[in-house]
Amino acid sequence: VHRARLAATNREVVVKVQYPEVSRTIEPDFNNCERIAWWLDKSRVSEVRETKKHYINELDFCQEANNLQRVRANLAREFPQVRVPEPILEYC
């Protein structure tokens, strides 16, 4: 995550960067983890699978932006003093 400023509006923003190789390598990496877990302790394979789902979901920045909007709206009602970033959807 990096601080930045939009050139067009001079608005301060935070940029979350996803390197392209991450989305290409996460599936094979977790498949290998699953194999290792199967060899070492079969009871842990389901944990590896659940973790894999979580990480793959984290790579979907559009879904993350929608979640952020929902959290922002929910917290604003009950806790107006809590600041939650507003995603700029056209950049997601």
pLDDT digit string, tens, across residues 43-65: 999 999 999 999 988 889 899 89
Greatest Cα pair distance in the chain:
55
pLDDT at 24: 87
The answer, yes or no, to whether residue 91 has pLDDT greater than 90, is no
The answer, yes or no, to whether residue 77 has pLDDT greater than 90, is no
Report percent pLDDT > 90 for the chain: 65
Beta carbons of 83 and 68 less than 8 angstroms apart: no
pLDDT at 15: 92
CB-based contacts of 11, cutoff 8 Å, min separation 6: 5
Q: CB pairs under 8 A, 24+ apart, for 5-11? A: none
